[in-house]
Amino acid sequence: MNPATRTVALTVNGRPYEATVEARTLLSDLLRHELGLTGTHVGCEQGACGACTVIVDGRAVRSCLMLAPQADGAVVETVEGVASPEALHPVQAALHAEHGMQCGFCTAGIVMSLVASHRAGVPVEEATEEVLGGHICRCTGYVNIRAAVDAAWAVAEEASS
Amino acid sequence: MKPAPFDYFDPSTVDEVLDLLGDHGDDAVVIAGGQSLVPLLNLRLAQPGVVIDPRRCTDLRSFSVDDGGLTAGALVTAAELEASPEAGALPGLHAALRQIGHVQIRNRTTIGGSIAHADPAAELPALLLALDGSVTLRSRDRGERVVTADDLLIGSFMTVKEPDELLTRVRLPRFGGPVTVLELGARPGDFATVGVIVGLADASAGVTDARVVVFGAGGRAQRIPAAEAALVGAPAAAGLDAAVDAVRADTEATGDAHASADYRRHVAGTLVGRAVRSLAGITTGGTA
């Protein structure tokens, strides 16, 4: 194969995909343009804003800072795969209940970071400071997003006690 | 905001990576975690003809910690080191790692990539310099060489690594006392406007070893030997003021839109003062 193009095989939200793309394709563009998963938003394309955050092999990462070929063989989760058909993920439910958004552009990335942290048992202080620190929201001032983190983590605590 | 076209190779052995670098060195770039390189590609500040991805070279992915310090393959991530209690017990490492971007970045940032990139505001090259660390550089035609941090870092985004060489391993020695990393930046997680790393051995009895590094101020991370000398030989409190003065006098700084050179020198001194106070448990004295 021409070394400027690559066939990338990966699992996204539990479904196997294969796409032949230019090697320079970003993971964010593979998800959006090749797989039609436009829930992942692209903001700054230099890793600063966090809007494009997805979960790759269990860890929250910037999909705009990964070349699609680097994700060959990876297990990727995007915002489209977070909820079950029956219910929102606790993080999504809390963002909804607390209205932790305004325009919603940054929300998909925030959901993915918080879902990864929630799953990993990250303490609530770390989630509100360090994890949210990796996301820029230009609407809310973060008050309701932080309230949603508190609410989602409180639910988890109740469930485990 | 998209990379220019390039040829992409992801061989599974270091020897194959070195072959590709030997053939394409001048026009090739190695991608590790990509957290610095991909922004440069996206902005087309870098337009390499060839991108070499060593992610399948598993021998670059492991690390070990012994009494002497950390030995890490170039592709070990900041997040992996951050999660390791053994690595966390190395003075200064955890503090440095925690100030690299945010968790979403650290999940991909690699120790070798950060050091090879040599961003003047980056924590890991500065820590390597503070702890007298070294890296292993390997090429197809000239084999391996071990280069100290002081020899490696020659300027802003510049190292002595030749285009056909791959940074394969990082050696970070264990310092004989606590090490702290302090930064001033617009927001936590941002690049440091200026940062310092200070290490003190036997701070209260009589300092036996001191390390003072300023980073983010100018071309590359810099040791401040006069500040280290001022601190050694007496309890840290005795050398504190002289060390702060030495930092302000000797730091090579440049000015930009974020801060003037004078401001960076001044703040570097302030941060070193705070670091020494906190390491030595000194509770009296001013803010500098």
What's the confidence (pLDDT) of residue B287?
A: 55
Question: Which residue, among B102, B108, B119, B187, would best test binding to A if mutated, counting the most A CBs under 10 Å from its CB?
Answer: B102
**How much is the pLDDT for B182?**
98
- CA-based angle B226:B98:B271, to the nearest 5? 30
Is B88's pLDDT higher than 60? yes
Interface of A with B (CB under 8 A): 3-4, 6, 22-24, 26, 29, 45-47, 50, 53, 59-62, 64-67, 69-70, 72, 113, 117, 129-131, 133-134
Of A26, A69, A113, the CB nearest to B53: A69
Residue written as token pair 């593979």 = A30
Q: What is the mean pLDDT of residues B184-202?
A: 93
The CA-CA-CA angle for residues B141, A3, A6, to 5°, reads 130
Q: Please state the separation of Cα B107 from the chain's center in Å.
A: 17
pLDDT digits (tens, 9 = 90+) for A13-28: 999 999 999 999 999 9
Number of neighbouring beta carbons within 10 Å of residue B200: 29
Q: What is the pLDDT of residue B187?
A: 85
Q: Measured between alpha carbons, how far is B156 from A47 in angstroms, rounded to an integer?
A: 21
A87 C-beta neighbours (distance < 10 Å), count: 9
Instruction: Give me the amino acid identity at A53.
Output: T
For helices A90-97 and A143-160, the axis angle rounded to 10 degrees is 140
Mean pLDDT on B200-222 = 94
What does the pLDDT look like over A78-130, one tens digit per residue? 999 999 999 999 999 999 999 999 999 999 999 999 999 999 999 999 999 99
Q: How high is the pLDDT of residue B186?
A: 87
Residues on chain B touching A4 (C-beta within 8 angstroms): 5-8
Query: Quick check: B6 contacting A, CB < 8 Å?
Result: yes
Q: Does B276 touch chain A (CB under 8 A)?
A: no
CB < 8 Å & 24+ apart, contacts of B24-31 = B24/B49, B24/B50, B24/B52, B25/B162, B25/B163, B25/B164, B26/B163, B28/B52, B28/B163, B30/B54, B30/B116, B30/B166, B31/A67, B31/A70
Q: Which residues contact B66 (CB under 8 A, 6 or more apart)?
A: none
A18 φ, ψ (degrees, to nearest 5)? -140, 135
Q: Residues B41, A24: contact at Cβ < 8 Å?
A: yes
Cβ-in-10-Å burial (0-12, 13-18, 19+) of B245 comes to middle
* Angstrom distances, CA of residue B211 to CA of A103, B66, B226, B236, B283: 48, 21, 10, 12, 21
Q: Is residue B1 predicted with pLDDT exceeding 90?
A: no
What does the pLDDT read at residue B207?
A: 96
Chain B: residue whose CA lies nearest to A22? B5
Structure confidence by residue, pLDDT tens digits, A50-84: 999 999 999 999 999 999 999 999 999 999 999 99
Q: Are A77 and A54 in contact (CB under 8 A)?
A: yes
**pLDDT, position B189:** 83
Whether the Cβ atoms of residue B106 and residue B145 lie closer than 8 Å to each other: no
Report whether A112 contacts A60 (CB < 8 A). yes
Task: Note the pLDDT of residue B285.
Answer: 66
pLDDT at B158: 96
What angle do helix axes B236-250 and B261-280 make, rounded to 10 degrees?
160
Q: Inter-chain contact B101–A62, Cβ cutoff 8 Å?
A: no
pLDDT at residue number A161: 61
In the 8-state DSSP scheme, what is residue A59? E
Q: CA-to-CA distance for B37 and A50, rounded, in angstroms? A: 17
- Give dist(CA A123, CA A70) in Å, integer: 30
Name residues whose C-beta falls within 8 Å of residue B143's C-beta, 6 or more positions apart in sequence: none
Structure tokens at B162: 């030749």
Give how far Cα A112 sits from Cα of A82, A155, B145, B210, B245, Å. Answer: 8, 18, 42, 43, 47
pTM exceeds 0.90, yes or no: yes
Split at pLDDT 50, 70, 90, the class of B205 is: confident
* Mean per-residue pLDDT of chain B: 96
pLDDT for res B256: 93
Whether A133 and B31 lie within 8 Å, measured CB to CB: no
What's the whole-number mean pLDDT along residues B91-95? Answer: 97
Q: How many CA atoms lie within 13 A of B224 on its CB side?
A: 29
The rounded distance, in Å, linking the Cα atoms of B286 and B162 is 46
pLDDT, one tens digit per residue, over B114-142 is: 999 999 999 999 999 999 999 999 999 99
Q: Are strands A53-56 and A75-77 parallel, antiparallel or unpaired?
A: antiparallel
pLDDT above 80 (res B284): no
- Per mean pLDDT, which range of A34-38, B4-8, B271-275, B281-285 is the poorest? B281-285
